[in-house]
Amino acid sequence: MKVTRIIPAVLFAAAEAWGNGKGAPPGRAGVPVDGPTCWEVACHTGTPLNGGGGRVTVSLSGGGTYVPGVAQAVTVTVTDSAAVIYGMQAASRLSASASTQAGGFRATNARLHVDCWSADWSKINSKSGATCPAATPLEFITHTGPEPGNTFTFEWTPPATASGSVVIYVAANAANGNGNPQGDRIYSTTVTITPAPPQTSNRPVVRPTDGVLVAGDFYSQSKNIAPGSWVEIRGDNFYSGDLRVWQGGDFTGINAPTSLEGVSVSVGGKPAFMYVLVAARPGLPSQINAQIPDGLGNGAQILTVRNANGTSDNYTINMMDRVPSFLAPAAFKNSAGRQYIAAVFEGVSPLAFVCAPNSLPGINCRSARAGDNISFYGVGFGATTPDQGTGKIVQVRNDLPNVVLRFGAQAVTPSFAGLATQAVGLYQFNITVPTMAAGDYELAGSVGGVPLPSGLFINLR
C-alpha cells in the first residue's frame, strides 16, 4: 500500500521579526524536499531548534486517524514564555513523494489564508476553490497578519482515498517582537496519523437538519452557537445504555468530563464537555448534552461525535461570540401561548417562580412585587471579567460587562450579572423588582450590543 505523509508545517512569526506580515515565504515549513526552516537559514536567530524551553503541539479532531475525504479541524499551539507575537505556515505532502501535495487546507477565519505555489516557487495563486490550480499545486496555509494569539485552527481534508500513514511535520516560530530577527525561537515536532479502520454501520450519525441546537430548555431565536453554550446534539447510535448524567466522580477537580461511557464530542478540534447521554427511544433520537469549548473563532466549525463504533461525519455549526439564550422551558408557556422566563424568587422556600398564579400547570407561580429579589439564568452571553473559561466549576465572582435590561420600557439594573459560582457555564442575573403597574412585561435589552431574544415575559403586580 502506498504510504502518505502529510506535513502541515506551522511557522509562527511576527512581521516585525522577519518582514512577512502577510504570510511566510514558501518552503520554510520543514518539508525535507522544500528546503531548510527559518532557523536553519538564519532568517530567525536565537536559541537552537527546539532549544527555547517551549514547544509546539498539533491536535486533530479525528485524533490519531483520518477518514479519506472527510475534513478535520487542525489546532496548532506553540508554548513559549518569551514570545509575544506569532505567524503560521502549514504544508501537506505524500510520504512516497514529498514534493506531491496531499489533501488540502481551508482557512476557517480571517487570521489565515491559503497560497498555491509551483514546485520551483516561481508561481503563486491564492486558493479560491476546493483545490489549487494544476500549475501551482503545492498548498501552504499561513498567517494573514502578525498575531498575538498562540493558537491557530484551520481545516485539512485528507486525500480522497486511503493512502497509508500520515506524518504531520510542524515548525513553529515564537517571535519576541523586538523588530529584528534576533532572539526568536523555532520549534518543530511530528505527529503520525493512520487511516481509520472501516467504520461500522452503527457509527454515530448527527442528524443533518437541526442536529445541534442550543439546549432545549434555553430560549434562543438563533441557530448560531456561542462558546460555552450548552447544546443538544441529536442523532442516532450515540449511546445505548440507561440515562447517563455526569457525576462527581467524572470530574477531575473542578474540570468537567470530556468523555462519558466512551462517548466524546469534538468541536473545531477541541473537546466539548459532556453532561448527559440519552439513548434513542421510540420516535425520539439519541441525544447528547454538552458544553461547547472556548478558544474557537467565529464562523464555521466542525463538530463530530465519537464512540467505540467510529466517528460521525462532520457537522458544521456557526459560532458567534454571543448568542444570548435564557432559561425558559416549554412548560413556562401559558395556554394563550405566552412564554415566561423561568425567573425564581431569591431565598424563598419552597421554590417559587415569577409567573401569574395558577397560569402554568404543575409550577409554583407567584407574581413579583416591587422590592422582590429575583434571579433568572441563561447561556451564551460571552466572556466575563475575569474570564472563567469553559468546562470548569466557577469558583470566583465575575461580571458580565455591558448588560442592558428592561421590563417593557422600564430600565432595570442587575445587582449581579455573570457566571454563577459552583456551576458550569450557567449565567445568572439578579434583579430587584422596580415599582411598576401590574401585568406582564416583555424582557428586552442587550449584552455587549447583541440584542436579547424577544418574546419572553415576566409577571409583576
Q: Does residue 168 share a domain with residue 224?
A: no
Positions of E strands within 308-415: 310-311, 315-319, 325-327, 339-340, 344-345, 353-354, 365-366, 373-379, 403-407, 410-412
User: Which of 174-178, 249-253, 264-268 shows the lowest mean pLDDT across its residues?
Assistant: 174-178
Q: Does residue 332 share a domain with residue 298?
A: no
Q: Does residue 421 share a domain with residue 376?
A: yes
Grid coordinates given for 223:
441557530
- pLDDT value for 236: 94
Which residues span the domain enclosing 330?
325-460
The answer to whether residue 11 scores a pLDDT higher than 70 is: no
- The answer to whether residue 6 sits within a structural domain is no
Q: Does residue 315 share a domain with residue 357?
A: no
Q: Given pLDDT bands bounded at 50, 70 and 90, which one contains residue 376?
A: very high
Counted domains in the chain: 3
Nearest residue to 108 (alpha-carbon basis) of 264, 313, 317: 317
pLDDT tens by residue, 190-206: 888 888 877 777 899 99
Spatial distance between the Cα atoms of 121 and 380, rounded to a whole number of angstroms: 46
Phi/psi for 21 (5° steps) reads -70, -15
Grid coordinates given for 135:
500549475
What average pLDDT score do residues 425-433 get? 97
Highest-pLDDT range among 70-79, 185-194, 253-262, 348-357 = 253-262
Q: Given pLDDT bands bounded at 50, 70 and 90, which one contains residue 188?
A: confident
- pLDDT value for 218: 94
Q: Given pLDDT bands bounded at 50, 70 and 90, which one contains residue 5?
A: very low
What average pLDDT score do residues 395-419 get? 97
pLDDT tens by residue, 152-167: 888 888 888 888 887 8
Q: Given pLDDT bands bounded at 50, 70 and 90, which one contains residue 111?
A: confident
The answer to whether residue 2 scores a pLDDT higher than 70 is: no
Spatial distance between the Cα atoms of 413 and 430, rounded to a whole number of angstroms: 9
Nearest residue to 10 (alpha-carbon basis) of 66, 73, 63, 74: 74
The answer to whether residue 71 scores a pLDDT higher than 80 is: yes
Spatial distance between the Cα atoms of 390 and 379, rounded to a whole number of angstroms: 12
Grid coordinates given for 287:
441525544
Q: Are 171 and 9 in contact (CB under 8 A)?
A: yes
SS3 label, residue 390 = coil
Q: Does residue 134 share a domain with residue 96?
A: yes
Q: Does residue 170 share a domain with residue 112?
A: yes
- The answer to whether residue 308 sits within a structural domain is yes
Q: Does residue 272 share a domain with residue 247?
A: yes
- The answer to whether residue 1 sits within a structural domain is no
Q: Does residue 219 share a domain with residue 190?
A: no
- The answer to whether residue 106 sits within a structural domain is yes
Spatial distance between the Cα atoms of 406 and 399, rounded to a whole number of angstroms: 19
Position with higher pLDDT, 101 vs 263: 263
- Report DSSP letters for 405-454, one per residue: EEETTEEE--SEEEEPTTSSS-EEEEEEPPP--SEEEEEEEEETTEEPPS
What average pLDDT score do residues 335-360 get? 93
Element containing residue 16 per DSSP (H, E):
helix 15-18
Spatial distance between the Cα atoms of 258 and 393, rounded to a whole number of angstroms: 14
CATH code at position 315: 2.60.40
Q: Given pLDDT bands bounded at 50, 70 and 90, which one contains residue 63?
A: confident
The answer to whether residue 270 scores a pLDDT higher than 50 is: yes
CATH code at position 24: 2.60.40.4060
Q: Does residue 163 share a domain with residue 227?
A: no
- pLDDT value for 45: 57
The answer to whether residue 33 scores a pLDDT higher than 90 is: no
Q: Given pLDDT bands bounded at 50, 70 and 90, which one contains residue 40?
A: low
- The answer to whether residue 116 sits within a structural domain is yes
Query: Between the CA of residue 404 and those of 219, 401, 409, what are the distances in Å?
Result: 18, 9, 12
Give the other-Cβ count within 10 Å of 253's Cβ: 6
* pTM score, whole prediction: 0.72
Element containing residue 138 per DSSP (H, E):
strand 138-143
Phi/psi for 259 (5° steps) reads -150, 140
- The answer to whether residue 87 sits within a structural domain is yes
Element containing residue 18 per DSSP (H, E):
helix 15-18
Nearest residue to 171 (alpha-carbon basis) of 228, 86, 236, 98: 86
- pLDDT value for 46: 64
Q: Are 354 and 368 in contact (CB under 8 A)?
A: yes
The answer to whether residue 180 scores a pLDDT higher than 90 is: no
Q: Are 87 and 146 in contact (CB under 8 A)?
A: yes
- The answer to whether residue 419 sits within a structural domain is yes
* Listed residues 269, 291, 319: the one ending a domain: 319
What average pLDDT score do residues 65-84 get? 87
Grid coordinates given for 360:
402554568
Query: Between the CA of residue 214 and those of 33, 211, 326, 447, what are the distances in Å?
Result: 47, 10, 10, 18
- pLDDT value for 3: 32
The answer to whether residue 44 scores a pLDDT higher than 80 is: no
* Listed residues 134, 165, 195: the one ending a domain: 195
Q: Does residue 132 share a domain with residue 267?
A: no
Q: Does residue 283 share a domain with residue 382?
A: no
Q: Given pLDDT bands bounded at 50, 70 and 90, which one contains residue 36?
A: low
Considering the chain, what is the average pLDDT of its residues? 87
Please, what's the b/e burial string for 335-352 (b: 16 or more CB within 10 A of its CB; e: otherwise)? eeebbbbbbbbeeeeeeb
Q: Does residue 183 share a domain with residue 221?
A: no
**Separation of first and last alpha carbons in the chain:** 76
- The answer to whether residue 9 sits within a structural domain is no
Give the other-Cβ count within 10 Å of 283's Cβ: 5
User: Which of 40-54, 94-108, 336-350 shows the lowest mean pLDDT across its residues?
Assistant: 40-54
* Listed residues 300, 319, 338: the one ending a domain: 319
